[in-house]
């Protein structure tokens, strides 16, 4: 879930371990009733910890303003 507020559609860039991810292939958006992006669903995959090093998730987006 995006803890700093919902994202405007078409403004989200998501990277895992430095690699850009493609919506619908590597993850799906979670949206609210207005179509704003509130989070991500990685199922059936999950973020992992390998040899004590966790996956790094970086998200850049424009926040929805009220």
pLDDT in tens, 9-58: 999 999 999 999 999 898 999 999 999 999 999 998 888 999 999 999 99
Which pLDDT does position 66 carry in this prediction? 67
What span, in angstroms and rounded, lies between the C-alpha atoms of 59 and 16? 9
What span, in angstroms and rounded, lies between the C-alpha atoms of 10 and 61? 9
What span, in angstroms and rounded, lies between the C-alpha atoms of 8 and 29? 12
Which pLDDT does position 62 carry in this prediction? 96
- Hey, is 38 helix, strand or coil? strand
Q: What is the pTM of this model?
A: 0.84
């Amino acid at each position: 879930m995006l803890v700093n507020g919902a994202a405007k559609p078409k403004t989200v860039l998501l990277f895992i371990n430095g690699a850009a991810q493609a919506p619908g292939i590597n993850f799906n958006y979670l949206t609210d009733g207005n179509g704003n992006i509130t989070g991500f669903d990685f199922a059936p995959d999950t973020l992992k910890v390998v040899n004590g090093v966790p996956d790094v998730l970086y998200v850049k987006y424009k926040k929805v303003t009220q």
